[in-house]
Each structure stands twice: as C-alpha cells, then as structure tokens.
Chain A
Amino acid sequence: MNQPVLEISGLSVDYGYHDDAVHALRDVSLSLGRGEVLGLAGESGCGKSTLAYAATRLLPPPGLITGGEVLFHSRTGETLDLLRLPDDELRAARWDEIAIVFQGAMNSLNPVRRVGRQLTDVMAAHRPGVPMSVHKGRARELLGLVGIPADRMPAYPHQLSGGQRQRVMIAMALALDPQVVIMDEPTTALDVVTQRQIVERLIALRAELGFSVVFITHDVSLLIEMADRIAVMYAGRIVEDAPAAEIYAEPRHPYTRGLLGSFPPLRGPRRALSGIPGAPPDLASLPPGCAFAPRCPHAFARCEGERPELSGGRRLSACFLPADGPVAAVQGVAPVE
C-alpha cells in the first residue's frame, strides 16, 4: 500500500469504569492509505462510532481511551500524534486535516442560521485573516460541488430536504480541503436514490480533490461497491480487513460471511438466506474466546477458550479456521478472477 495518511494502532476504549466498564473498542489497529476509501462495516453497537470519536479525541464521557496511538501524516511529511497533541493544535487539525461528518449530523445544523452562513462561519473560524467575500465564493463553490444550487445559500436548514442537509454537511467537511474525511453513517437516514447521488458525488470528489475517506456504515453491500478496502468490526474488534472485492468474493471470517448473507441480492438466483442466528453479545460481559463463537456455525473447542488475533498478510482475519477452510468451502462462491 502507498504511504498511509492515518494510522491507528492498539486503540482501546471503555465506557465507564472497573467491573461495569463496557469495552467498546479493544486493541483496534487500522490504517488509511492516501486517497483511499476505507469502509468500516459492522452491526449497530459494534463500536464504529466509538472508533471515529476516539481517533479524533471527541469521545463524550464516560468514554475513556485506555490505550493506543493515532498518527496522522500530513502531505508535507509532518507526523501528528493525535492522542497527545495539545488541545489547540488538535482543534486546528480537526477541520483542516481531518474532517468528520457525524451520524445524524444533518440534524445538527443550526436551525436559525442560513446554511451559507454556517459554511462561511467554519471557514472564518479557521482562516480568520481571509476576507469574507472569499469565504462566500468558496461556500458557493462547495455547494456546487455537492450538487446544491448556489442560490440555496440563504436557505434555512428546515427549507432543505434531508438529502440536501446531508450534502451541506459534506460541503462543510470539505470546506478547509482536509486530507481525511471520516463519515459516520452519512446516508443511513436517506433514501436509496439520495444515497446513490451522494455516494457518487463523494467518489467523484475524492478523485478530483484527492482526500481519503473512512466511510462507516452497517450496510456492507454498499461498501462492497464503493470502498477500496473494508474493515469489518464485531464486538469492539476488527475481525477482517481486506480489499473490498476480495471480501465479497471470498470472505474469510464467518462473521463477514454471515453479514454478506444478511443482504438478499437484487440480482442473480433467488435462494433462501438465514442471516446469523442469535444476537450480538453484551460488551460488558464478553466470552473469553472469540466473541463471535456463540453464533458461529464453524466454532470448535479452541474458539471458546482462546481469542484469535487479527493476522495475515495483505488480507487480515481474526479466525482460527484455515484461510482456505470451511468458510470458503461452505459458501461455494466463485473465487476472484
């Protein structure tokens, strides 16, 4: 892979203390390549948002980072240690270098301020010396980029549709030309038609402006299509990390396999699917072995007592099954050409 722009290693997060602590993130390592679209997939409650918040030090209490490191490598070759950076430098880096679109962000626009103003506010805060007319011009340009006519600048949030508000949030994230954009479920509340329009626009902008994206969603079928690489999370850990096409053609971890089998296909043969039996575990009382073992159709004795590490070369997976073992055999999907 080319030089990463963001490197997360061994990141762990608890909510609460001592015995009651919810271990929401456990020893998570992940790297984002320059210009890459990395998909972060997993069911609700597996820790995706926690990862986004922790990596940018925006974790709300009682969230506590209990270990790990997050490094950001800028275009100029400078490295920032995000978890140890002084607050003011971190705040500056946050919009400038790394921008975040939070889950449900479209509802966090200020309802009594025109959207154009909200865009210029962000720019004025980070580029105080620049004249307002320049910010206004940039705001128009940004709205155009995300597919909103510039004459919507004076609109209030309630005068825009959900899809348009979400586009404004994306425009805001891109305002200071960041190198990394983290998007937490940016299209989950939107209809598929709007989702498609926004995703297409995002991918086109990525090519045009050259930023990297962490795209968080529970919809792995969307990621297969749009992401370069996908990291699959389960119960606070990454269980598989591989190029999107390979995850689809040949999932290694039984959870990934189950997740893919939870989305009925729109094309191809119609066949019975079952999803995954059972329910995701309680993070406050996890089993000692593999957290997925209780739901896993391939679990054997070792899985109950010992936890598999995320390992492998270019393709990572946290499972004791051999890479060409039962998971690959059972599903009978064609290997990648």
Chain B
Amino acid sequence: MAETPPPPDDRVVLSARGLTKHFPVRKGLRRKAVRAVESVDLTLRRGSVVALVGESGSGKSTVARLLAMLHPATAGEVRLRGEPVSARFGRRFRAYCRQVQMIFQDPFASLNPVHTVRYILTRSLRIHHAGLSTPELTARLAGLLEQVHLTPPERYLDKFPHELSGGQRQRVSIARALGAGPSVLLADEPVSMLDVSIRLGVLNLLRELTTELDLAVLYITHDIASARYFADTTVVMYAGEIVESGDSEAVTQDPAHPYTRLLIASAPDPDRPGGDREIPARGEPPSLITPPPGCRFHPRCPQAMERCRTQAPPALPGPGGRAVACWLYDTEAPE
C-alpha cells in the first residue's frame, strides 16, 4: 500500500487539475459540444467541507459526476491521495469507488422503493466489505443508523423508503454512503428537495460526520448562504468555469469576482429590506455550445475591459489568499 511517496500536503485526499467535460450534441447536421466544464481545479482535504456554488447549468453536477467517475473526462486529471485515477475498471477503480461516495439531491429517486432500509444498507456493507459475519453485519447496520441519528435503529431497519420522511430518507442515503467506508463524500444539492425546517439538521449531521470521520466533503449548492454556514472553502462556478475560490467567510463577505458580487447581491437578505439595491449586472448565463470568447462573464460584467472580450483570465491571486479568475486582479496589467 505504501508504494506512493507522501503527497506534499498530507491532508489532501482528492484533487482535480484541468478537469474538462464537453458533451457531444447534434444540432441539425453539425456535431457540436456542450462545454459544460472547462479546466476546473479542485482540492478536497480531510476534515473539511468545500462548497461548489453556482446557478443551475453552471456545471456543478458534472464536476461531481466527473469526480465520481460516472462520466469520462474530456481532459484533465483526478488524483486520490496523489495517485492518478485513470481506468474506469479493475481493482484500483473499485477501490476508488469505495473511497469516493456520492449523495444525490433526490432521496426518493436514489433509494429503491421495493427495498427496506436493512436491505439497502446491508447491500452497501456487503459490496464494499466482503466476508462480514452475520453478527458483525448486525452491529455495523445499527452503527450506521446511529451515525446518522436514526435511533433506535430497530425502528428504522424494516421500513421502506416511502414510510420515512424526506429528511430520514436522506439520512439513509448518507448511511448507505458511509457503509462503504469512504474518505470523500460528494453531496450534490443534498438538502434542496427537503422541507426547509429540516435542511439544517441534515447539514449539521454532515458537518458532524466530516469532523468525526475526518471526511473530505464536496457540498454542491445553489444557495450561497448555506455555503457560508456549512463550508470552510467556497468555490464559485459560472458557465462551466471556476471564477472565485477561497475561505467561505471571505468569499461571501467580500466577494472579489464581479459574478460573485452579482450572486451575493441577488440572494435574499432580510437585513436589507426595500428592494432598491444596486444589482451589479443584468442578463442571463451564456450558451455553453458557443460560449463567449475571453471571460465567459464579460457580456454581463459591468467592469468588462477590452482584454476580457478576447482573453480568458487565469486564476489570479485575489484579496485574502483567494483565487479570482478576473483581469481586475492582474497586477502586471499594462494600465
């Protein structure tokens, strides 16, 4: 197991470099591509939550699916503990799938309605830990349910998904993911479909598991306020690209990229009633089949400059150790 040299940052579990996904589509007779994810870099560390925030269609789910190896990448590289993951088959790949577990938005759709909680969790345990004895299995089942606060476990084991509330179902999906003994959780909008009053309960549970099990968590959301609440690091995506990333508090309290500012200014904010606020941009996200040249945000950006129309900005160092993909932060820019 110890064949690889230790990576420079030993808390890094999963990292992606230049991750790109173009979906081929046909438009009339011509072949085109939806450029859904473009050269994304992402690092997940143990015991830490990274939020991936963006509007619908910005490519968040595609990033998660690429990281979970559910899609082949068009380009780029994913490393688990420094080791590149390439093939989508074989023993190494199966180990990867055990380590990197996904939680989906819709717990109705992701749990098979004809199976009991016992069956669903047993299956997850058996797939990932062959040769468990029956007493071990029973103990593990109870342990999983306790971990997600479905107690006493006996009350839930023989229930079918439809007999549970939305929040309980999502807890079962989390337990199923934990059954694999993962080190990474990819949670794609895990609370968006739940009743408002129980969302925070599920996020608090995920936070607790992150700390207790030293997990690396990717939290995908369109709700930037929940990213501030739950995530250590916030990464903002726009039209398939990362526009800003850094400490959640810094990103939300002092957004640097013009798009992040738009997102923050648009979010409901009870402390600023009246509706007469300055919204820093208009318009809608672009087509990903023919994205704008240069910075993909430039057609909507109130601060767009000439070079923004032709040159895509790289991730530049922004205030407070943040990375901002915006020419406004180019210190070497000719005036």
Question: Known contacts being A225-B270, A262-B196, A266-B269, is A192 close to B222, with CB within 8 Å?
Answer: yes
Give the residues in chain B near A275, CB-CB below 8 Å.
Answer: 196-201
Give the residues in chain A near B249, CB-CB below 8 Å.
Answer: 270
In the complex the two chains form, is A263's CB within 8 Å of B196's CB?
A: yes
A313 contacts chain B at the CB level, 8 A cutoff: no
A44 contacts chain B at the CB level, 8 A cutoff: yes
B274-287, CB under 8 A of A: which get 1 and which 0? 11000100101000
B53 CB → nearest A CB, Å: 10
Near A by CB (< 8 A), chain B positions 204-231 give 204, 222-226, 228-230
B165 contacts chain A at the CB level, 8 A cutoff: yes
The stretch from A54-62, A135-143, A150-158, A197-205 touching chain B is A197-205
In the complex the two chains form, is A245's CB within 8 Å of B266's CB?
A: no
Minimum CB distance partner of A203 in chain B: B275
Bound together, the chains give a CA A279 to CA B199 distance in angstroms of: 11
The DSSP consensus for interface residues of chain B is helix
In the complex the two chains form, is B266's CB within 8 Å of A196's CB?
A: yes
Minimum CB distance partner of B57 in chain A: A191
In the complex the two chains form, is A280's CB within 8 Å of B200's CB?
A: no
The stretch from A86-94, A123-131, A215-223, A303-311 touching chain B is A215-223
Give the residues in chain A near B204, CB-CB below 8 Å.
Answer: 272, 274
B311 contacts chain A at the CB level, 8 A cutoff: no
Identify which of A164, A203, A264 contacts B229 (C-beta below 8 A): A264
B273 contacts chain A at the CB level, 8 A cutoff: yes
Give the residues in chain A near B271, CB-CB below 8 Å.
Answer: 265, 267-268
Near B by CB (< 8 A), chain A positions 58-104 give none
A323 contacts chain B at the CB level, 8 A cutoff: no
B263 contacts chain A at the CB level, 8 A cutoff: yes
Bound together, the chains give a CA A219 to CA B230 distance in angstroms of: 19
Question: Known contacts being A221-B270, A224-B273, is A200 close to B229, with CB within 8 Å?
Answer: no
B84 contacts chain A at the CB level, 8 A cutoff: no
B184-198, CB under 8 A of A: which get 1 and which 0? 000000000001111
B264 contacts chain A at the CB level, 8 A cutoff: yes
Seen from chain A, the residues whose Cβ lies within 8 Å of a Cβ on chain B are 43-45, 161, 163-164, 191-197, 199-200, 203, 218-222, 224-226, 244-245, 248, 258-259, 261-268, 270, 272-277, 279-280
In the complex the two chains form, is B275's CB within 8 Å of A258's CB?
A: no
Identify which of A197, A245, A267 contacts B273 (C-beta below 8 A): A245
B267 contacts chain A at the CB level, 8 A cutoff: yes
Give the residues in chain A near B275, CB-CB below 8 Å.
Answer: 199-200, 203, 225-226
B283-307, CB under 8 A of A: which get 1 and which 0? 0100000000000000000000000
Minimum CB distance partner of A275 in chain B: B200
In the complex the two chains form, is B266's CB within 8 Å of A279's CB?
A: no
Give the residues in chain B near A259, CB-CB below 8 Å.
Answer: 196-197
In the complex the two chains form, is A193's CB within 8 Å of B200's CB?
A: no
B252 contacts chain A at the CB level, 8 A cutoff: yes
Minimum CB distance partner of A194 in chain B: B284
Bound together, the chains give a CA A258 to CA B195 distance in angstroms of: 12
B272 contacts chain A at the CB level, 8 A cutoff: yes
B114 CB → nearest A CB, Å: 23
Minimum CB distance partner of B270 in chain A: A224
B240 contacts chain A at the CB level, 8 A cutoff: no
Q: Please name 16 further chain A to chain B contacts, defined as beta carbons within 8 Å, in addition to the given A219-B196, A263-B196, A270-B249, sorted by A numbering.
A: A193-B266, A200-B279, A218-B196, A221-B270, A225-B269, A225-B272, A244-B273, A248-B270, A264-B200, A265-B225, A266-B228, A267-B253, A270-B228, A272-B204, A273-B229, A276-B197
In the complex the two chains form, is A264's CB within 8 Å of B226's CB?
A: yes
Q: Most B CB atoms within 10 A — which of A161, A195, A225, A266?
A: A266
In the complex the two chains form, is B268's CB within 8 Å of A222's CB?
A: yes
Bound together, the chains give a CA A262 to CA B199 distance in angstroms of: 7
Minimum CB distance partner of A272 in chain B: B204
Bound together, the chains give a CA A45 to CA B266 distance in angstroms of: 27
Give the residues in chain B near A192, CB-CB below 8 Å.
Answer: 55, 222-224, 263, 266-268
B262 contacts chain A at the CB level, 8 A cutoff: yes
Bound together, the chains give a CA A272 to CA B196 distance in angstroms of: 16
Bound together, the chains give a CA A159 to CA B138 distance in angstroms of: 55
A122 CB → nearest B CB, Å: 25
Minimum CB distance partner of A218 in chain B: B196
Question: Known contacts being A197-B282, A199-B275, A200-B279, is A276 close to B229, with CB within 8 Å?
Answer: no
Minimum CB distance partner of B265 in chain A: A196
In the complex the two chains form, is A221's CB within 8 Å of B268's CB?
A: yes
Question: Could you list some 6 contacts between A and B, CB below 8 A?
Answer: A194-B284, A195-B266, A263-B196, A275-B196, A279-B166, A279-B198
